Structure 1
Amino acid sequence: MTLTREQAMEFAEDKPSNPSDNETFGSISQRRYSRRGVLKGALMTGTALAIAGLSRPGQASMDARFAFDEISHGVDETHHVAPGYDADILLRWGDALFPDSPAFDPANQTEASQLRQFGYNNDFIGMIPISDDRAVLCVNHEYTNEELMFPGLGDQEKKDFADMTEALVKVEMAAHGGTVVEVTRDANGKWKADTNGKMNRRITASTPMRLSGPAAGHARVQTKADPNGTTVLGTINNCAGGITPWGTYLMAEENFNGYFWGKDALDAHPEAAALKRYGAPGQWYAWGKFDTRFDITKEPNEVNRFGWVVEVDVMDPTSTPVKRTALGRFKHEGAETIVNKDGRLVVYMGDDQRFDYLYKFVTKGTVNMQDRAANKDLLDEGTLYVAKFDDQGGVTWMPLIHGQGPLTAENGFKDQGDVLISTRLAADALGATKMDRPEDVQANPKTGHVYVMLTNNSKRKADQVDGPNPRAENSFGQIVELTPPDMDHAATMAKWSLLVVCGDPAKPDVNAQWNSQTTENGWFASPDNCTVDPDGRLWISTDQGSAWAKSGTADGIWALETEGALRGTGKMFFRVPIGAEMCGPCFSEDGATLFVAVQHPASDGVKNYTGFERESSFEDPATRWPDFKDGMPPRPSVVMITKQGGGKIGV
């Protein structure tokens, strides 16, 4: 197949690599919500809605928690925000981060210039306050689109990367990773990047990093360049992430498999079965053509050094980022944290692929908010769990500990390092529940509820539906709410229910489920990231990929009611330009600014964009957002949303 970068990732995520016969979330959900107990493929009923806590027609109207006039569904070349709000560009690909940063010149890009500029395809956004009007902004740069980045290339995967040079690959590597930049707020409530910020730094696919935790030094992470197995160069495909309570930045490595070469030699690799479970090597980039690290035939273990959560001490720009192996190795969508009632830290994580799993990590030690340094290695010791759902509304968190249950040497797990390097295989062995692409997972510190974004799963068959995954051929996704007992996030049990089943409720064949108060613009499809604002309200961002034409609307931000009689009511707040994905919603500490990331404008599904109907390229994009200047390509950007006249967002 010849695919654009987005299509390659979508295809990989849509192609399950889980061969286990573990039960699916869809079949569990269906049993829970079916009146007859077991009715595979049945639709959710009014009774099911009541069980889930959704309102039904006939309930009394009530006050909404979100006070703004929603915008409408649609798709065009620019962004849109609710009336009474400003949506200003804060940072664009190529913008200066340091006093000596060169001006952005898209026709003459170099590795040296990109290392001093804001990277490409901004995804996760995290904010660490320094004062009321100064903060550190942390932004992931997930991947690159060479057909939109560089002149004269088109889609290189179709051409076997014939036109990619080593110099261009080095630019791509420099555009990956993350940006740490200080931002300041002026008297009008608008933020700007401070190029003189002492904490400013770029983290790339070549930045030296340290491996820590149980898999550090393991034979399976040792390479020719690093025989000790403790030093890694770079981080890649950083999707969502997290900020710890002590102010460090967690970068989650997701589709690392796509960067490695050697598909033709996969069966001869000593870890062929494990690599296939992770979909590696994908060979989506030309990196393996010039860098032997990314060729499994030349460096068999390098692939095992990616797929982790990376912790960065942003307050020390000279610090070495650390890959925390205790949190497991899989396609991490994010790593959101909450301090448990007993002081331990809990990290919730989704493995973003069809039929993969939901995880959490509970630290052994407790968070010390009086001594930041005491938390330095907190993430190196603790227990990683994977979720198993039942049709009575229960969740069991199963520990992935060597020697317990099937996780033994007899089954291929010689030690805890093996369990963590092959987390997916260990979770298969435990019988974890297969999910519909678990992405961002966010705990609400005010209510204790946990929200799991299940983006979609068009490959789920009618005999594979279950409770949390209630639809076959699920193109639109759903949101699952977890309720830990007595707000104890470290507990090994929890309850689950469906918050919404996404898609257009006006189309009977979609089988969507929303509160009856949701308007024609309040529904959404493919929930991806989420955030909880300072008032405890939930906001959702979406990623339909090239399938946006199925819903007929671009991705965006929706406010979503989670409590009371309006539970399950959506409200549209922001919309991205054609071909873009909505990422990274993040509120300032006072709730007066919402930062969002607009990723890969002009890329996804542009063949379905009426009047354009072809693939985009550097010279001929579907939109030139946000600059709209001839010769300037579309630029992934961070947008800051503020209320005209000041005040909290959505109030």
Structure 2
Amino acid sequence: MNEQFEIIEDQDDIPSNPTSNPRVADLINARLSRRGFFKGLMATSAVAGAYMATNGVVRAQDASTLTFKSIPQKITKTHAVADGYDANILIRYGDKVVADAPAFVPGAVDAVSQNKQFGYNNDFIAFMPLPIGSDSSDHGLLCVNHEYTNAELMWPGLKDAMGVSQEQALHEIAAHGHSVVEVKKTGGTWQVVDGSKYARRISALDTEMVITGAVAGHDRLKTSSDPTGTRVIGTLNNCAGGKTPWGTILIAEENFNGYFGGDISKTNEERNYKRLGISTDSWYSWVKYFDRFNVEKEPNEPNKFGWMVEIDPYDPTSTPKKRSALGRFKHEGATVILNKDNSVVAYSGDDQRFDYLYKFVASKKFNPNDRAANMDILEDGTLYVAKFNEDGSVNWMPLVHGDGPLTAQNDFNSQADVLIETRRAADLLGATQMDRPEDVEPNPVNGKVYVMLTNNSKRKEANIVNPRVENIHGHVLELTPPGGTGKDADHTADTFTWDIFLLGGNPANSDDKSSYHPGAESWVSCPDNMAVDHKGRLWISTDGAPKSDIPDGMHATDVSGAGRALTKFFFACPEGAEMCGPEFTPDGTTLFVAVQHPADGSTFDAPSTRWPDFADGMPPRPSVVAITKQDGGEIAS
């Protein structure tokens, strides 16, 4: 890790949940102690027994439906992909997005140009087919988040983000946000369409957004630049996201707290900001140059961040909308599924140690025949937080003003207050503390929901699931709604059941106490994002395997049958990089992935890798990679 990122991680590693609410680790321990072991891996072990060879080794090629051979988990200066596949760079930091964008100049400081070019640290990817409403898999819009910047890799002479000039700070602001580009596959190769009418850059520099829902116009959102409390310039720290059935995208505002600084005790929001981790020290220099990031000068500005943002990529003139009904916290993303009754349900994790898992159910139902009627579905609905129980059930508790403790007695005077302080409202309801819930995705094939719990280095209680003083490798939960499988599953239900899908760590290290299929070909550390392919198989990306020499990358596994939890390693990131944003085309023949912060831990002057260009003087550049099978077929089939 580079010095700046170490600082950010250290600060973000400090839990801000002051409650004694039950922790998921304690519940797992109690449940496993009572049951002896958990159902999912019992089933895996039983099925795996049928595939044991005479020497006691599981024949993975017989168990798994994934047809590729795992690649070595080895860190190198470039990426690697399974044999029989091509992994081509599609677009890189600084590449042209809008028609009049200039060419990338290494080390240049130019916010105006950057606002027209592909931003930094690409994360979430959404492929939106063209024409709209089609299932095209060779022509569409690629929508990509830009989470944060590594100043020390962007310009010479820097060690961290706090040393940048005002001009560099403006460039960083422009490098945040989102890019929309048109892409097309011709002759088997993906390319960005130059001069596309859909091309767009959304940034924190100048993109105006509106705030919708119960929070819009509230006094706690009013600032000197927006006395109405309904508008805001830009979006920050956009991590993962989601797609809607009506053809819009959702982008998350995750670690927005790190962009603000100043003495929070001088505001009326001290309790609110402390719970979100806003402190005197910002992670960026922006607070030195721009009043909006100084809470002493603009005490309400942070309340305009921490939301999910909805964007219509098919209309480059549309105004993005911050959907307050989905709550305010460190959203990793919001993945949407259409319920069997056309109800719209979105799942979201609050990516911090000891924080919570959420579900949103919209008030209005989806109209498949009227896109315009669906465009504001996410403006209103009920937000729920999860409470996990020892008997294997999950209760979804509504966060509704006036219910239970969410009243004026606890300083919740309206639903707006509940949404602005979603974390504190969830605290009072007794939600279950989680080990960094990141991506949460429903699987439309089996109807279950999978939760990536990346890690929790602050958890000190050992238990049978993670019998170490720190859960450094994380695990994956499997939630089952009632009603049946696939489209019959009822995601609006108040009660689900839960089990563990896999426990991260190195099977060769007994201290890790990891749990996979006995024939697993790879080991997972710090599961982060995920995608689901045509067959309902999970593709799990990783971020930050600690105390090891394995790269981050893309693992895949079946969710049922003989290959359940039999992980295989498909793609390896280059040195210093994280794997983000896995996204399949509708036909499953292309997998787009985002390689973030290559050469992390080094500098522009002496990068540990010059991926992907490998040219003298060219810095490492976060990039989107398009992976295709060399025979043109469906990936892993």
Alpha-carbon distance between aligned partners in 2 of 1:136 and 1:34, rounded to the nearest angstrom:
49
- CA offsets, 1:399-426, max 9 Å, x none? 0000000000001111100000000000
- The answer to whether the aligner puts 1:418 opposite 2:417 as a matched pair is yes
Cα pair 1:52 1:497 within 8 Å, conserved: no
CA shift for structure 1 position 472? 3.8
Of the three residues 495, 498, 503, the one matched with 1:496 is 498
Cα pair 2:38 2:500 within 8 Å, conserved: no
- The answer to whether the aligner puts 1:569 opposite 2:566 as a matched pair is yes
- The answer to whether the aligner puts 1:631 opposite 2:617 as a matched pair is yes
Cα pair 1:124 1:597 within 8 Å, conserved: yes
Alpha-carbon distance between aligned partners in 2 of 1:542 and 1:516, rounded to the nearest angstrom:
21
Q: 1:644 to 1:471 in 2, by over 3 A?
A: same
1:150-229 equivalences in 2 (<5 Å): 150-157=155-162, 161=163, 164-188=164-188, 190-206=189-205, 207-229=207-229
Of the three residues 479, 483, 492, the one matched with 2:480 is 483
CA shift for structure 1 position 30? 0.6
Map of 2:328 onto structure 1: 329
Of the three residues 50, 58, 62, the one matched with 1:60 is 50
Map of 2:55 onto structure 1: none
Of the three residues 563, 586, 597, the one matched with 1:600 is 597
Map of 1:279 onto structure 2: 277
- CA offsets, 1:523-552, max 9 Å, x none? 1110000000123211000001xxx35132
CA shift for structure 1 position 51? 6.4
1:95-174 equivalences in 2 (<5 Å): 95-131=95-131, 132=136, 133-157=138-162, 161=163, 164-174=164-174
Q: Secondary structure at the match of 1:68?
A: coil
Alpha-carbon distance between aligned partners in 2 of 1:489 and 1:420, rounded to the nearest angstrom:
22
Alpha-carbon distance between aligned partners in 2 of 1:568 and 1:470, rounded to the nearest angstrom:
20
Letter of the structure 2 residue corresponding to residue 418 of structure 1:
D
TM-score by length of 1: 0.92
- CA offsets, 1:151-199, max 9 Å, x none? 2222243xxx3xx2221111101100000111111022x2111122111
Q: 1:452 to 1:549 in 2, by over 3 A?
A: closer
Of the three residues 564, 578, 583, the one matched with 1:586 is 583
CA shift for structure 1 position 503? 0.7
Map of 2:517 onto structure 1: 515
| Identity over aligned pairs, percent | 54
Map of 2:508 onto structure 1: 506
Map of 2:456 onto structure 1: 457
Alpha-carbon distance between aligned partners in 2 of 1:466 and 1:297, rounded to the nearest angstrom:
47
Cα pair 1:240 1:584 within 8 Å, conserved: yes
Map of 1:611 onto structure 2: none
Q: 1:56 to 1:11 in 2, by over 3 A?
A: farther
- CA offsets, 1:355-396, max 9 Å, x none? 000001000111112111111110011000000000111000
- CA offsets, 1:239-281, max 9 Å, x none? 000111111111100000000010xx22232211111110013
Cα pair 2:107 2:154 within 8 Å, conserved: no
Letter of the structure 2 residue corresponding to residue 6 of structure 1:
F
Alpha-carbon distance between aligned partners in 2 of 1:255 and 1:218, rounded to the nearest angstrom:
23
Map of 1:536 onto structure 2: 536
Alpha-carbon distance between aligned partners in 2 of 1:139 and 1:53, rounded to the nearest angstrom:
38
Q: Secondary structure at the match of 1:170?
A: helix
- The answer to whether the aligner puts 1:269 opposite 2:267 as a matched pair is yes
Letter of the structure 2 residue corresponding to residue 128 of structure 1:
M
Letter of the structure 1 residue corresponding to residue 38 of structure 2:
A
Q: 1:314 to 1:470 in 2, by over 3 A?
A: farther
Q: Secondary structure at the match of 1:525?
A: coil
Letter of the structure 2 residue corresponding to residue 516 of structure 1:
P
CA shift for structure 1 position 584? 0.3
1:42-61 equivalences in 2 (<5 Å): 47-48=37-38, 53-56=43-46, 59-61=49-51
CA shift for structure 1 position 3? 7.2
Letter of the structure 1 residue corresponding to residue 278 of structure 2:
A
Cα pair 2:259 2:286 within 8 Å, conserved: yes
Q: Which runs of 5+ in 2 are unaligned?
A: 52-61, 484-488
What's the RMSD between the two structures over aligned residues?
1.6
Cα pair 2:337 2:345 within 8 Å, conserved: yes
Q: 1:49 to 1:551 in 2, by over 3 A?
A: farther
Letter of the structure 1 residue corresponding to residue 276 of structure 2:
Y
Q: 1:466 to 1:271 in 2, by over 3 A?
A: farther
Alpha-carbon distance between aligned partners in 2 of 1:334 and 1:12, rounded to the nearest angstrom:
21
Alpha-carbon distance between aligned partners in 1 of 2:427 and 2:9, rounded to the nearest angstrom:
23
Q: Secondary structure at the match of 1:355?
A: coil
Cα pair 1:49 1:56 within 8 Å, conserved: no
Letter of the structure 1 residue corresponding to residue 581 of structure 2:
G
Alpha-carbon distance between aligned partners in 1 of 2:306 and 2:518, rounded to the nearest angstrom:
41
Cα pair 1:91 1:193 within 8 Å, conserved: yes
Letter of the structure 2 residue corresponding to residue 561 of structure 1:
D
Alpha-carbon distance between aligned partners in 1 of 2:619 and 2:48, rounded to the nearest angstrom:
51
1:349-428 equivalences in 2 (<5 Å): 349-428=348-427
Alpha-carbon distance between aligned partners in 2 of 1:9 and 1:624, rounded to the nearest angstrom:
24
Q: When the two structures are aligned, how many residues end up with a matched partner?
A: 615
Q: Secondary structure at the match of 1:550?
A: coil
Alpha-carbon distance between aligned partners in 2 of 1:5 and 1:192, rounded to the nearest angstrom:
33
Map of 2:94 onto structure 1: 94
Map of 1:612 onto structure 2: none
Q: Which runs of 5+ in 1 are unaligned?
A: 38-44, 607-615
Map of 1:344 onto structure 2: 343
Map of 2:58 onto structure 1: none
Cα pair 1:55 1:568 within 8 Å, conserved: no
Q: Secondary structure at the match of 2:547?
A: helix
CA shift for structure 1 position 566? 2.2
